[in-house]
A and B are shown apart, each in its own frame.
Chain A
Amino acid sequence: MAVAALSSSASPAASAAAPDLCFHCGEPCPPATRLFVERDEQRLPVCCAGCQAVSELIFSSGLARYYRFREGQARTADLDVDELLDAWSRCDERRALWGRDLGGGRFDLLLQTEGVRCAACSWLIRSRLEPRDGIERVQVDVGSGYTRITWRPERIRLSEIAATLARSGYRPHLPLAEDEERGRLRERRDALLRLGVAGLGMMQVMMYAVGLYAGESLGISAGAERFLEWTSLLVTLPVVLYAGRPFFEGAVAGLQMGRMGMDVPVSLAIGIAFVSSCVNFFRGAGEVYFDSVVMFVFFLSAARTVQLLQRHRNLQGGAALARLLPEWAQRVDGDRLETVLLGDLREGDRVRVTPGGPFPADGHILEGRTRVDEALLTGESCWLERVPGDAVVGGSLNRDHSVDMVVSAIGQDTTVSALGRLLLQAGGREGRGAGLAERTAGFFVAAVLTIAVLTGLAWWSIDPTRVLPTVLAVLVVSCPCALSLAFPAALAAAGRRLLRDGILLTRADSLEALAAADRAVFDKTGTLTAGRPELARVTLNPDHPMAETLGEHGARAVAAALETHSAHPLARAFRGSGAPLEAVDVQAIEHRGLQGRVDGQAWRIGSAALVCPGGPTVDEADAAGPVWLGNDAGWLARFSMRDGLREGGGRLVERLADRGLRVTVASGDTLDAVCRVAKRLGIQDIHAELSPEGKMALVRALQGQGHTVLMVGDGVNDGPVLAAADVSMTVPGATELANSAADLILTGASLDGVGAAVDLARETRRVVRQNLAWAVAYNLLALPLAVSGQLAPWMAALGMSASSLLVVLNSARLARGCTLAVTAVDAPVKDAGQAVRA
């Protein structure tokens, strides 16, 4: 649990502005109390006897390290407040960053605060910010880490707000998609407020109800009984009208659209119970059901709120993305460095990124080499080497050395923004499965209403006084909440789990098709292969004088030294070859290669024309053409290239075959090239030299044979076929267009995610079936009891909620389960590691 930044109380700015902060709990000390804890000759202020006692206890038990531990948890160590203050002070005069104008000089600022973990954090932020002049109201949403501040810019500066947050251990960020976030925050607050009202109401009414029941047996005075009933009525009123409003609204909206949602019986139950209780109350005869009404509203609100929070949690990936990009960048202007706001960065700007810092935008490395950490973006856990010419993604972390980059995409065009948009879309889309559940529920509702009416009629003839409780029990107990939760709850949990594994689920219902898939069609280029050449073979020229001394290994080292200076795609294939050598006097020769000196020896590397005019001709169809190395003595080595495979392909083919999915490769490439790749991966079913229409025809043909087809591609030439397949998945590097059409998007470089997604989809299908089975079984069991008058309305409310809760909890298992680790047992160790990381 993250609490205070202890260093903050020592900083001069803080102590000048505010009273002493309690050393232990971080709350301001009341001015009158003079309590201290002695530590290392120092007198540390504490706010109350309790904190004093705890703090003394901690010191005297030799656990002073607890405070350092706590501080470390709050990650204050990483925060350089002065630097932050300096950077944020650049925003002070920018109205656009002040938040929404509320009029009267008040602004509504939304900040993403990193490090918020629990209610204590929320409390700490509020207790630090709210006493400050110029700040009117602070709300912290613990779930998403957003802090909403109503403030007056003429009284306090934006940078002071930011610094106050930072001093408390929370790094502030500007939000990524402000409007959506605001909407969700409001939705969540509303839901919690309603739930709170219903919950508190329930406690009070139940308290009175027990009083009433007990009174019946013990003999309560008529006046006291009347008073308790009055109180119940008054407390129930806001519960029904405020907390229960969404149900009535939902029912009305549904009926207007000609649909019978589950809100209809819910509203009927609440309405009938409340109105009849009121009538009986004023009549002074008959039963009152205020306790059942509040209980019902509370439980239903609880189920809805849990569902809402689950759905929002899926979107928090979007919120987390906002933290990846820094607010500022170091722009290189001639030989000057200036700190500029991210929003002021333009395409083509040269930016310096220091070790440990994030890349502010998409672009290419200009100067220097380093390793970058893309774990937060793609789930790729290894740090990737990047040299001049390589692309870097905004939001990834620079790990090793200071590098300069040129910006190629900013703002909404960056990969991070695109991911964020996709995530938001995914959260907003209603799945087909959910729609189906809704329709089933509609049918169900009609049945429930019919049964309720029949029950009412039956009891009317048996015992008219029992019509009301029985009908209420039927309505409540058979409320198809569990049924309509069965799909969405499971899909939400699965989506969250996939996201952690580096897979974006853009259409939740596609998991159904994925679970059913029995054919997997892969594109080759860019999908099975990484679109990156790798060294296939080295051929030495035995006639060259240096062939003996250098050997194959030495030739590769020389080539690697020279190619370090090249930005050509082929140059990457030499990385990490042999012992590092240093090349000097390297010059690029337009379109043909490089020349330079390695160990005092002059070398040329590049095309055959450059290295050995008149040498041996190309005798082999190399995808990327061979690279030649030589000097004035002739050619030394020829490096054959091939398209490198994407990681995890072999494992994936095995895993899919294991799951009963037959793997097909469909490529536009030559049969020869496709066969080579397919052979390496163990794929037997090969279709080569296909046009985009050909690929589509293949998929259609498979579908015609009754197969459910999963298509995996990168979008180049296979956009239509991705759309035609039952379920589609794209790999990293896929086109934006393909991503927006795909059902699932892999963000990690390895293909393991495909297998993981298939497994999770099947697991999800199982959980959904369990949920449905449970919902149906519950109703079959409970309905007869309710119809026969065995259940009191409050028992029905309890049963209904327990049933819904079970469905939600069963689904939540998907988010934490360990299907990936289990299925990776037979895979190599590295694969297992990848899976366990989930």
Chain B
Amino acid sequence: MNLAEWLPIGVTAFLAGLLGGGHCFGMCAGIAGGLGALSTGRGAWVSALLFNGGRVLSYALLGAVFAGVLGQAAEALGVPGWSRGLRAVTAVLIAMVGLRFTFDWQGLARIERLGAGLWARISPLARRAASRPGFFGRFALGLTWGFLPCGLVYTMLLTATSTGSAPSGFLTMLAFGLGTLPALLGMTLWAPALAGFLQERGTRRLVGMGLLLLAAWTLLVLWGLGGGLEHAHHGMHHG
């Protein structure tokens, strides 16, 4: 997968993180700062940075592992039409994220259940990290955070997996993680105001529709219609 092919997916991932949703604020924001201040009494900022750094890293590593394993497996099996199918899956997943933002569609929440088993295995580690004071504990807690049952993270992980190679999976999840930073760290100069803007329904719809278009375009190209200029024109005007 070259850069030009990856970029739409990367931007999708970044936007998905950026617009992640109010729910993430309530659920995750403040945890690191709060726990940090509790256990060390100071350095809430450093603590939050470490926690979020760990979190983003865990996303990226998960993306690399999943996408890498899938890519290797496919190569070993030699599935015919593999890369085409994979791209179709990516497009469908992007469309699902688009639906989520355009219509507040909650279908993704179902994927959460998939992760409950995984989390059960990780949670003892998370518990140890959480009860460990100091900065290393915060970073370790962040590392376990990637495994929390969360529809959005899992969807993005599937998207990253569908890129089919470890580097692109890593980059996709990294983009997603970086997208979540403004909201979760968001106390900087003007991030609060911007984060407010990102939570506006209008913004979310606009981006959602953009993602739907992107997905549609990918599918069109896959089915060999992309070469036909006229079809594409009509698609755009309706958007």
Contact = CB atoms under 8 A, between A and B. Distances in A.
A binds B: yes
Interface of A: 1-4, 22, 24-27, 30, 47-51, 53-54, 56-58, 60-63, 65-66, 69-70, 73, 117-120, 122-124, 126-127, 140-143, 188, 192-193, 195-196, 200, 203-204, 207, 210-211, 213-215, 218, 221, 223-224, 226-227, 230-231, 234, 305-306, 309, 812
B232 A24 contact: no
Contacts of A188: 193
B131 A123 contact: no
B192 A70 contact: no
B196 A223 contact: no
A346 B11 CA distance: 61
Interface string B128-150: 00110000000000000000111
Contacts, number: 191
Contacts of B195: 118-119, 122, 142
Interface string B190-216: 111111111100010011001000000
Contacts of A117: 187, 192
A218 B186 CA distance: 40
Contacts of A47: 23
Contacts of A141: 193, 196
A621 B172 CA distance: 85
Q: Interface extent on B, as a size class?
A: 35 or more
B79 interface: no
Nearest to B48: A1
Interface in B43-100: none
Interface string B21-33: 0110111111101
A230 B238 CA distance: 13
A224 B221 contact: yes
Contact of A24 (B14, B27, B196, B233): B27
Nearest to B31: A54
29 contacts: A1-B34, A3-B26, A48-B27, A50-B149, A50-B150, A51-B26, A51-B27, A57-B126, A57-B130, A61-B131, A63-B130, A65-B38, A118-B186, A118-B187, A118-B192, A118-B195, A120-B29, A122-B192, A123-B22, A124-B25, A196-B198, A211-B4, A215-B4, A218-B4, A221-B227, A223-B229, A224-B226, A227-B229, A309-B193
B149 A142 contact: no
Contacts of A192: 193-194, 196-197
A207 B218 CA distance: 14
Nearest to B207: A200
B91 to A, nearest CB: 15
B183 interface: yes
A75 to B, nearest CB: 14
A142 B25 CA distance: 14
B116 A227 contact: no
B187 A214 contact: no
A829 to B, nearest CB: 24
Interface string B1-38: 01110011001001100000011011111110111011
B27 A50 contact: yes
Given A27-B23, A63-B130, A223-B226, A54 B28 contact: yes
Contact of A223 (B11, B123, B227): B227
Report, nearest first, the 3 A-B pairs whose CB atoms are least far apart.
A25-B26, A214-B4, A119-B195
Contact of A49 (B34, B112, B126): B112
A351 B23 CA distance: 45
Contacts of B192: 117-119, 122, 142-143
Given A48-B109, A218-B2, A210 B7 contact: yes
A70 B130 contact: no
B183 A49 contact: no
A124 B233 CA distance: 42
Interface centre among B30, B127, B193, B199 (most CB of A within 10 A): B193
Given A27-B22, A50-B27, A210-B7, A119 B126 contact: no
A53 B149 contact: yes
A309 B27 contact: no
Contacts of B34: 1, 66, 69-70, 73
A25 B229 contact: no
A306 B190 contact: yes
A747 B143 CA distance: 49
Interface centre among B8, B197, B228 (most CB of A within 10 A): B197
A743 B199 CA distance: 41
Nearest to A309: B190
A119 B186 CA distance: 7
Contacts of A50: 27, 112, 148-150
Nearest to B33: A1
B119 A53 contact: yes
A301 to B, nearest CB: 12
A223 B228 CA distance: 6
B11 A123 contact: no
Contacts of A119: 25, 183, 186, 191-192, 195-196, 199
Nearest to A192: B197
B30 A120 contact: yes
B42 interface: no
Nearest to A58: B130
A247 B68 CA distance: 48
A204 B25 CA distance: 26
A1 B29 contact: yes
A127 B22 contact: yes
Nearest to B119: A53
B127 A207 contact: no
B38 A123 contact: no
A169 to B, nearest CB: 13
A196 B19 CA distance: 12
Nearest to B191: A119
A234 B209 CA distance: 14
Given A120-B29, A142-B192, A200-B206, A214 B2 contact: yes
Contact of B30 (A70, A207, A215): A70
A193 B202 CA distance: 10
Given A120-B29, A188-B193, A227 B11 contact: no
Nearest to B153: A50
Contacts of B190: 143, 305-306, 309
Nearest to B203: A196
A204 B196 contact: no
A221 B115 CA distance: 41
Given A49-B113, A57-B127, A305-B190, A25 B23 contact: yes
A227 B232 contact: yes
A213 B4 CA distance: 9
Contacts of A215: 4
Interface centre among A47, A61, A126, A188 (most CB of B within 10 A): A61
B130 A61 contact: yes
Nearest to A68: B38
Given A119-B192, A224-B221, 16 more contacts: A24-B27, A49-B115, A50-B112, A51-B26, A53-B148, A57-B130, A60-B123, A60-B127, A65-B38, A118-B186, A119-B186, A127-B22, A141-B193, A142-B195, A200-B207, A224-B227
Given A1-B34, A230-B233, A143 B193 contact: yes
A210 B4 contact: yes
A47 to B, nearest CB: 8
Contacts of B198: 196
Contacts of B7: 207, 210-211
Nearest to B220: A227
B15 to A, nearest CB: 7
A61 B236 contact: no
Contacts of B126: 57
B109 A142 contact: no
Contact of A69 (B3, B37, B115, B228): B37
Nearest to B27: A25
Contacts of A213: 4
A418 B196 CA distance: 32
A62 B221 CA distance: 54
A66 B38 contact: yes
A26 B26 CA distance: 7
Contact of A56 (B123, B150, B183, B189): B123
